[in-house]
Structure 1
Amino acid sequence: MKIGLVSDSLSHLSTLEVIKTASELGLERIEFATGNWSTAPHMDLDGLLNSADKRATLLRQLDDHGLKISALNANGNQLHPGPSGAVHAACADKTVELASLLEVENVVMMSGLPAAPGDSYPNWIVTSWPPETQEILGYQWEVAEKYWTKQAALARQNGVKICIEALGQQLVYNLPSFLRLREITGDAVGLNFDPSHLIWMGADPLAIIREAGSMIYHVHAKDTFIDRYNRATTSALDNRPMTQSRERSWNYVTLGYGQPETWWNEFCYTLAHFASPELTLSIEHEDMNLSRLEGVRKSVELLKRTAMFEKSDYELPAI
């Protein structure tokens, strides 16, 4: 396994400072955001697309510090019915093109979420009643199929794999919805496996790893703390701002502050056993209560204890 970093975790640093910090922490991979929900503080998408010199400079800086790019990240909602949908879709397409130019295998994206027919905002359907929910879902998947058929073809043309992150307020948010998308796209699309979202929704990431297996292409190392007292009255569905961390039923936290270290041992082992021992664990820091550098540092320290880095060489004893 490789330990990496989502560069937005250190968004207050310059690109070169992020690269140097990652190297000093002993990391091997960096995941750069290119736009959409990110301000892309470390990557000039259009500049890199249009300049071979800029691409060469970035790759040289990474190489000088013993780093490679694990993925480019274009997380957003390409299926939004408003103007932002077209903007996000364009950024996603450019990101696939740039990944090809940089010889980066993975592009992290969301599935997107359309609205109900005629609506102006996305509609996340999480129940089967009343009956119109199924009508809305049917329409949303029609919209998604048109987009993702083209997007899968674009990925194949560029020799890139798209890694879908299952997230609430997205069409793909659990394993069944991902498998439905996979029926449309084939293996051009896999999972960017982020356990933090699955934890707050009540799923078991370890069970999903066993089912998804080789369909996992990339991993976000991010944790979630479940406040059992707040959750008892709020449920898992908490729409209060992240800044209200004391009142919320769940919050994103630094690795080890949600699930214990023993859980992360099992997480890494299950990934290696059922998915691939070659995966990158890309640390994504979104903890409201720790500094960015401390959160990333503590996460690195935990993963260095729980991940596996050497190829297995065990052999059964001769009889």
Structure 2
Amino acid sequence: MKIGLNTDSLAHLSLTETLDFAAELGLDHVEFATGGWSSAPHVNVDRLLDEEGTRRDLQAQLSERGLRISALTCSGNPLDPGPAGRAHDATTRKTIKLAALLGIERVVMMSGLPAGPGDTHPNWVVVSWPPEATQLLEWQWREAVLPYWRELSSYSRGHGVEKLCLELHAHQVVYNVPSLLRLREEIGPIVGANLDPSHLMWMGGDAIEAIRALGEAIYHVHAKDTRLEPGVALRTRLENLPLFGGDRAERAWNYVTLGDGNGEDFWRRFCATLDEVGYRDVLSIEHEDTALTPEDGVSNTVDFLRRVAPIHV
């Protein structure tokens, strides 16, 4: 594997400071967020689109540190029926255009989540009863999800970007392996997974089995861990207490630094299974553990990955 960094993990640092830190750790790749739910602290997608000199400068800064871009990330909800959805869709299209200009083959994003007929807010259907839940879910796929993705995939192919990497995330219509494979079957192999095991962990999935089921559909991987807390016994995994800025001790689960949720044995099996299915690419660190400073969390994760992952040059 190769080790990379989602630079939002160090959002408080400047671009230069972030790239220097990545180089000091001996990382191979960085992953830049361009907008959506990210403030895009390190790149300005509009300037990069409009100014060839700005693109050359970014590539020079990366090259002189021995870094490459693994993916551009624009996670948001382009299927939201309100202004936010239109803004996220615009960012998605800008990101695809920028990826083409920079010669990057992967764009990480989420599937989006539509509302129901006439509704103003997205509606995440995760049960089959009462009957209107199933009816709503099928309406969402038929009337919103598939039309959008057919058009977006055509747009992306037109720009030469052939890997749209969907993160299996809560409050998205694609949130687990079957929903990812359903969209991939309908749209084609341009749709693949950005496999972030931390979300599967708290939802009760099995990240190792997910790797085996997805196989060649894995296009990008986030290195991120989740710890189930004692509170899960009473609260269940359906947690709505604040993830950031609240009382972590009260929550049923939390994002933690790699190894603090699942130990070395799990992560060795995780990396070995990726290798078995042919994924020998980037493990992009996404640090969201508020118990550690970002610098400490990222550094600890790099050390951990070098112990558990087969490194490919």
TM score, norm. by length of structure 1: 0.95
Aligned to 2:104: 104
**Aligned residue in 1 for 2:147:** 146
Correspondence for 1:249 among 225, 247, 252: 252
Aligned to 2:286: 284
Question: 1:172 touches 1:178 (CA, 8 Å); kept in 2?
Answer: yes
Aligned partner of 1:190 in structure 2 is 192
> For 1:116-155, what per-residue CA distance to the aligned partner results, in whole angstroms no more than 9, with x for missing partners?
1111111111100011101211121120111100111122
What secondary structure is seen at the aligned counterpart in 1 of 2:249?
Answer: coil
Counterpart residue number, 2:62: 62
Alignment check: 8 A CA contact 2:29 2:70 kept: yes
Partners of 2:116 and 2:292 in 1: how far apart? 39
The residue type equivalent to 1:308 in the other structure is: P
How many angstroms does 1:53 deviate by?
A: 0.5
Q: Distance in 2 between matches of 1:241 and 1:275?
A: 37
Please give the per-residue CA displacement for 1:246-292, whole angstroms capped at 9, x wherever unaligned.
01110000000000011111110000111422x21000000011100
**More displaced stretch, 137-146 vs 50-59:** 137-146
Q: Which residue does the alignment assign to 2:268?
A: 265
2:80–2:114 Cα contact (<8 Å) kept = yes
Amino acid of the structure 1 residue aligned with 2:223: A
1:165 to 164, 167, 179: 167
Distance in 2, matches of 1:273 and 1:294, equals 31
Q: Contact between 1:225 and 1:253, CA under 8 Å: does it hold in 2?
A: yes
CA distance in 2, matches of 1:16, 1:102: 19
The one-letter code of the counterpart of 2:218 is I
> Superposition RMSD on alpha carbons, in Å?
0.9
The answer for the alignment partner of 1:314 in structure 2 is none
Matches within 5 A, 1:1-319: 1-142=1-142, 143-160=144-161, 161-227=163-229, 229-242=230-243, 243-277=246-280, 279-310=281-312
Provide, for residues 13-45 of structure 1, a one-character-per-residue CA deviation record: whole Å limited to 9, x for no partner: 011111110000110100000001000010100
- Give unpaired runs (5+ residues) of structure 1: 312-319
Query: Counterpart amino acid of 1:81?
Result: P
Looking at structure 1, the residues matched to 6 and 13 of structure 2 have their Cα atoms a distance apart, in angstroms, of 13
Percent identity for Structure 1 against Structure 2: 51
Shift of 1:310: 3.5
Counterpart CA distance in 2 for 1:57 and 1:156 is 27
Q: Does structure 2 retain, via aligned residues, the 8 Å contact 1:148–1:184? A: no
Deviations 1:173-226 (A, max 9, x none): 001111111122211110000000000000000001011101000000000001
Shift of 1:235: 0.7
Conserved in 2, the CA contact under 8 Å of 1:214 and 1:275? yes
Q: Distance in 2 between matches of 1:259 and 1:158?
A: 40
Q: Which runs of 5+ in 2 are unaligned?
A: none
2:239 maps to a residue whose letter is D
Letter in 2 for 1:234: R
CA distance in 2, matches of 1:26, 1:144: 40
TM-score using structure 2 length: 0.97
| Counterpart residue type for residue 213 of structure 2 | E
Secondary structure, aligned partner of 1:246: helix
Q: Report the secondary structure of 2:21's partner residue.
A: helix
CA distance in 2, matches of 1:232, 1:309: 38
> d(CA) in 2 for partners of 1:294 and 1:275?
31
Contact 2:8 2:33 in 1 (8 A): yes
Work out the number of aligned pairs and report it.
309
Counterpart residue type for residue 107 of structure 2: V
Q: Distance in 2 between matches of 1:194 and 1:3?
A: 14
Segments of 4+ moved more than 4 angstroms = none
Write the letter of the residue equivalent to 1:267: F
